[in-house]
Structure 1
Amino acid sequence: IVAKQMPGGLEVLIGGKTDPAFGKVITFGLGGKLVELLQDVAIRVLPITEDDVRAMIRDIEGYRLIQGYRGEAPKDEEALIRVVTKMARQFIENPGIREFDLNPIIVYEEGVTVVDARIIVSDTHASGTARLSIKAPPEIFYPDSIAVIGASASPQKVGYSILRNLLAFPGDLYPVNPARKEVFGREAYPSVLDIPGPVDWAVIAVPARLVPEVMEECGEKGVRLAVIVTAGFREIGEDDVALEEQVVEIARRHGIRIIGPNCLGIMMPHQGINATFDPVSPRAGDVAFISQSGAIITTVVDWSLPEEFGFSSVISVGNQADLGFEHYLRFAEQDQTTRSVTLYIEEIQDGRRFMEIVRQVADRKPVVAVKSGSSLKGRIAASSHTGSLAGSYEVYVAAFRQAGVIPVRTLRDAFNLAELLASEGYPQGNRAIAITSAGGFAVLASDYAEMHGITMVDLPEDVLHELNAFLPAYWNRANPMDIIGDADATRFATLFDVLIRHQDFWDIAFVIAVPTTLADPAHIANEIVRFSQNTDKMVVGCMLGGDSLRSGLRILRSCRIPNFPELEDAFKAVGSILRVRTARPGEWTRPPPPDRCPVGRR
């Protein structure tokens, strides 16, 4: 093949693939050899608008080359946008196209040229697998009565742990075990049908082969929700899929909703519900945790207790034979005790449906997600550069961001973010200030802000004038504000008053306090709380140190103000939020301080 040699320019790529969860996605990035070297790409789930394409192009680190770098003339960005938009439209409108790869595309000062192209077609259109989704009424998550089917007096049995955990439930609790007259001092019933009163929930912990019969009885009884902790269904293999389908068919016929099967269960701390076999119960709080791993739930709950971290709900989704992430997100959206949501996700069955719902939820309550499976193992068989770059993990992260979900890599980051967002909501912008009495941390704050895309704003002249009136003559007169090592709580308080009066130039305040004999940490914490309660801007606590700060940390915790003991973690958390979104007008209001909080508004 003889082809005309094109003059040099900026090489980029446009690619598309069909993701098993999210359907058709498109990739843009630097092309040619750079695609393998830098892997500098942006991904979007289709369909997308021209504005989405423009944002996608500007997402890559190499966008500076398009703008014109080191004296080079800018490239034709508008022509590039038109090509990407056209390819996205062609891809979504042609079901037969399974994958394509345009690499390289040469971008000039005027116009673009596609040098090489590959398109893979198929007779069938692969897309995300949609599970039958019927709306679940929120009231099913607020039971008045619970039956534990498979309740046991043997500590080695799952039914023992579940019933023990539910003894704190204030409603009616019924053990079901045909071999016993009583369990934990409560009358036991041979069958759910023998229970004299109504039963809202049935927590089922019997062998898998018995579950269909139990479900039929639950249907006759009028049970609304079955929490099936039993394993031995689809997760085992193809031979057990039929058993799970039988259980679902029975549930559909009787109007029962299912959590699980093969799950840890569900915890609703504000209702006194721990319908799991976790050995401990979490504190009540305002973060909903929805997880595809029961082991991660038990670990997180155990971690949360000494940290005094609380949950509004903790849900193990299991096999999602009926209820799935989208149902639990809808529940968290309307639940009055939930202010933010954390997800642990291994896979999503219907990515587009998930995006549709989570986008709506994230508009009302912040959603943070940890997606496992970021290794390269699943990319080995990719058939093009696009396939290797737009692997499943990257598609999930791109989809999360498109839907307003904040993706993070670690559970610690997830709960740091969830707690911050539950307390402070989305920031209104990226203009930040930092206040500290430690010069070294002022320098680090500047470094971390730049590293995580946060703008440290200049202090307005009128603010500088007010600060000069009471701060030592040798303070740094800049942002971050180093108010000198001899600062006490009164100096912090006076500075906070200035910032409360001048809220028009900043969106985020990092308050950095360190151990010192001159400032009582409890007094500093009280002033941080007062500052937070007198502004709708984001206030981030950074009391750095150890045992000497415990009195202050307890006050922050009691007033629902998150604290970051590592300074970079604070900037990393805020940067993660800003990369996805900021607040919209009227979107969020600060909750009143809890009754246990010793500090309130002035």
Structure 2
Amino acid sequence: MPERMLTESEGYRLLDSCGIPVPPHHLATSAGDARAAAGRIGYPVVMKIISPEIIHKSDVGGVITGIEGPDDAEEAFGAIMRNSAARAPEAAVTGIIVEKQMPGGLEVLIGGKTDPSFGKVITFGLGGKLVELLEDVSIRVLPVTEDEIREMIHEIEGYRLIRGYRGEPPKDEEALVRIIAAMARIFVEDPRIREFDLNPVIVYEEGASVVDARIIVGDTAGGGAARLSIRAPQDLFYPKSIAVIGASASPNKVGYSVLRNLLSFPGDLYPVNPARAELFGRKAYASVKEIPGPVDWVVIAVPARLVPGVMEECGEKGVRLAIIVTAGFREIGGDGAALEEEVTTIARRHSIRIIGPNCLGIMMPHQWINATFDPVSPRPGGVAFISQSGAIITTVVDWSLPEEFGFSAVVSVGNQADLGFEHYLRFAEQDEKTRSVTLYVEEILDGRGFAQIVREVAGRKPVVAVKSGSSLKGKAAASSHTGSLAGSYDVYVAAFKQAGVIPARSLRDAFNLAELLASEGYPQGKRAIAITSAGGFAVLSSDYAETHGVDMVDLPDDVLRELNAFLPPYWNHANPMDILGDADATRFAALFDVLIRHQDFWDIAFVIAVPTTLVDPAHVANEIVRFSRNTEKMVVGCMLGGDSIRSGLRILRGCRIPNFSELEDAFKAVGSILEVRATRQGKQSHLPRADRCPGDGW
């Protein structure tokens, strides 16, 4: 069906059939008809021109409001017809709609669109001109429940106007919920509807009404098509043998870097190069078929035109996974896309799974695997990093080493010709070494499939995501980078939150979140306490907690009595707890003992320590480790300073307890976790505590 916009009368008819209130109206074709219709409807009325060629009615003088009588109705009809003939002479006019001019109220909007990745989504926000001025909207991927609709309404800043603001009576929120639910239902059920904009919808103390409807119908596109329905077997990511096809002795070749990086792999490693007898002291083979033993993985680093032939040989050999680092496929369009399809067809025929093509490769630090051409290998840790950019991986891995940050897996997804985000998420979900997952996303090919899987994974292990393309230029760069159109940034963020994924604006924020969750798991609630030896940071803690939605709880009387027994008499007797600048590790330890005994009144503890001549940072860090080990609550380290606290930071890092060098970053991270946790209350499983100090196997 060719795309077209329903006329206002058609739109009203559709809405009315769904039980959505619209103004009394009539499509008039003559001045007399308009006069009679206005009389039946009751004054005042509004008249609007109806023409498929006229989108912006006001621009052609096609709207007249405040019509108060029969003669005015006839004159308005004539004026609109004259205006349209003068300003849009080619437009075919169906008629003029006469509708009741609804009384004033709170104007909101309800919109819908078809996203190329996630399919149909719905938006809600303040309506009229305010939507463009404030951009105060909430978004959900459909379908939605009525509870999710209420969450949408509550989360916009303008909700205060619905609730009742400065003496204004509250508006009829339930009437609004019914309209959104009905519109969401018809949008999902009717494949013809591609987009709609109900703006404004006027909400009253009792009831609500749509007073302008823009509905576009046509062949529905988007929503993404799944590439493969077959789940990759989990043992696919635990190889016993790897071959490098295109292995080289030349340091400027990708095959050289890959082979060199894999020399530490404890399994069988086979260089494949028909021009060499040996490489790095290992026997080289002319083709993968000549290798005497089984081959689980191959890393392919030959020119793109040779890859189909190599894949045929891998199929004959029984290879299970091909990591194609070679570029020159779908990302260049045209012939490259056709070549990628040929490679994928061969892989399907032989049951070979593919990472890439056009990717950096994969790193599995606990298995001593660096199957990439990045010269740096990361430390083992508990965070799986799945990225759509190889350059971001190399930067992050380089950053992670001095930060002593470790990974359970690092995956460059490339073009996702076969394996995609959903497969790597399933792996991370079941991998014993993975405690949390970080994603860097440019595009999701199958948004609905991704959302379903990541929702299940995030229920078991925390998932944090950075989505690129929030700016217009960013969207263009993402598209050219991946060889496909990037979806709307706001839709991605909404889909992430619905699925329990924590969105982050920067990579540093993402890894702060991932490390905190890998160590501490989800907090059981939002009740927080803060302990510090610096009064200024106690004040800032209160400020940051309020800004980021963290509740600073009052200290119970019995806890105050116990603290007063050993703290100096001039401590602040409140939360955040300022235990004064002369506090040493012993004072911190005694306070931690009280909090361990009284775990029922708090969920999150921020421990803030600053350099002083009286404090040994190592001793304080050891007490923080003990505190964390002896409670099931979230403990957030905030040892602030530079070189003087290095000894303490090393202890925290060694025991996998994250530390935030900026206090606000700690509250921001916890606030982000709480925001997503609130939308999926009770749906995240609690990660079991692990012995996180050296020797624990992380």
TM tier, smaller = over 0.9
Question: Which of residues 538, 542, 552 is equivalent to 2:638?
Answer: 542
Shift of 1:194: 0.6
1:216 and 1:412 map into 2 onto residues whose CA distance is 42
Matches within 5 A, 1:1-400: 1=47, 2-376=98-472, 392-400=488-496
Shift of 1:26: 0.2
Contact 2:527 2:604 in 1 (8 A): yes
2:536 alignment counterpart: 440
TM (normalized to structure 2)?
Answer: 0.83
2:91 alignment counterpart: none
Q: Can you list the C-alpha shifts for 1:316-375, whole angstroms capped at 9, x where unaligned?
A: 000000000000000000001100000000000000000000000001110000000001
2:61 alignment counterpart: none
2:497 alignment counterpart: 401
Count of paired positions: 588
2:661 and 2:312 map into 1 onto residues whose CA distance is 53
Contact 2:360 2:372 in 1 (8 A): yes
The structure whose RCO (Cα within 8 Å, separation 6+) is larger is 1
Question: Which of residues 490, 494, 504 is equivalent to 2:600?
Answer: 504
Question: Which of residues 439, 449, 453 is equivalent to 2:545?
Answer: 449
1:194 and 1:168 map into 2 onto residues whose CA distance is 23
2:86 alignment counterpart: none
2:613 alignment counterpart: 517
SS at match of 1:311: strand
SS at match of 1:557: helix
1:495 and 1:473 map into 2 onto residues whose CA distance is 14
Q: Can you list the C-alpha shifts for 1:262-314, whole angstroms capped at 9, x where unaligned?
A: 00000000001000000111111110000000000000000001111110000
Shift of 1:221: 0.6
Question: What amino acid maps onto 2:198 in structure 1?
Answer: L
Q: Can you list the C-alpha shifts for 1:121-180, whole angstroms capped at 9, x where unaligned?
A: 003444323323321001010000000000000001000000000000000000000001
1:431 and 1:172 map into 2 onto residues whose CA distance is 52
| Pairing 1:415–2:511 present | yes
Question: What amino acid maps onto 1:225 in structure 2?
Answer: L
1:595 alignment counterpart: 694
1:178 and 1:525 map into 2 onto residues whose CA distance is 56
Question: What amino acid maps onto 1:580 in structure 2?
Answer: V
Question: What amino acid maps onto 2:445 in structure 1?
Answer: Q
1:379 and 1:183 map into 2 onto residues whose CA distance is 43
Q: CA RMSD in A?
A: 1.5
The answer to which of 126-135 and 506-515 deviates more is: 126-135
1:386 alignment counterpart: none
SS at match of 1:213: helix
2:344 and 2:555 map into 1 onto residues whose CA distance is 62
Contact 2:361 2:412 in 1 (8 A): yes
Question: What amino acid maps onto 1:144 in structure 2?
Answer: K
SS at match of 1:441: helix
Question: What amino acid maps onto 1:440 in structure 2?
Answer: G
1:235 and 1:463 map into 2 onto residues whose CA distance is 61
Contact 1:558 1:596 in 2 (8 A): no
Shift of 1:590: 1.2
SS at match of 2:674: helix
2:651 alignment counterpart: 555
SS at match of 1:212: helix
2:643 and 2:537 map into 1 onto residues whose CA distance is 19
Specify every segment of 5 or more residues in structure 1 that has no aligned partner in the other structure, as ranges: 381-389, 598-602
Contact 2:114 2:223 in 1 (8 A): yes
Shift of 1:538: 0.3
Question: What amino acid maps onto 2:470 in structure 1?
Answer: S
Contact 1:439 1:484 in 2 (8 A): yes
Question: What amino acid maps onto 1:269 in structure 2?
Answer: P
Question: What amino acid maps onto 2:541 in structure 1?
Answer: A
Shift of 1:378: 8.5
2:37 alignment counterpart: none
1:586 and 1:341 map into 2 onto residues whose CA distance is 15
Change (3 A) 1:596 1:141: closer
Change (3 A) 1:378 1:498: closer
1:182 and 1:593 map into 2 onto residues whose CA distance is 42
SS at match of 1:581: helix
Change (3 A) 1:124 1:41: closer
SS at match of 1:327: helix
1:519 and 1:227 map into 2 onto residues whose CA distance is 51
1:3 and 1:298 map into 2 onto residues whose CA distance is 62
Shift of 1:593: 2.6
Question: What amino acid maps onto 1:37 in structure 2?
Answer: L
Contact 1:339 1:365 in 2 (8 A): yes
Shift of 1:251: 0.6
Q: Can you list the C-alpha shifts for 1:5-54, whole angstroms capped at 9, x where unaligned?
A: 32221111000000000000000011111101111110000001111111
1:198 and 1:282 map into 2 onto residues whose CA distance is 28
Contact 1:378 1:391 in 2 (8 A): no
Contact 2:118 2:222 in 1 (8 A): no
2:504 and 2:325 map into 1 onto residues whose CA distance is 28
Contact 1:20 1:129 in 2 (8 A): no
1:173 and 1:128 map into 2 onto residues whose CA distance is 38
Contact 1:174 1:188 in 2 (8 A): yes
Contact 2:223 2:448 in 1 (8 A): no
Shift of 1:115: 1.3
Shift of 1:518: 1.1
Change (3 A) 1:75 1:437: same
2:17 alignment counterpart: none
Contact 2:468 2:475 in 1 (8 A): no
SS at match of 2:571: coil
2:564 alignment counterpart: 468
Which structure's CA Rg is the greater one? 2
1:491 and 1:587 map into 2 onto residues whose CA distance is 31
1:600 alignment counterpart: none
2:369 and 2:245 map into 1 onto residues whose CA distance is 16
Contact 2:193 2:220 in 1 (8 A): no
SS at match of 2:330: coil
Question: What amino acid maps onto 1:304 in structure 2?
Answer: S
Matched residues, percent identical? 82
SS at match of 2:605: strand
Question: What amino acid maps onto 1:67 in structure 2?
Answer: R
Contact 1:98 1:126 in 2 (8 A): no
1:379 and 1:207 map into 2 onto residues whose CA distance is 29
Q: Can you list the C-alpha shifts for 1:87-146, whole angstroms capped at 9, x where unaligned?
A: 100110110000000011111111111111110000344432332332100101000000
1:131 and 1:199 map into 2 onto residues whose CA distance is 25
Question: What amino acid maps onto 2:109 in structure 1?
Answer: L
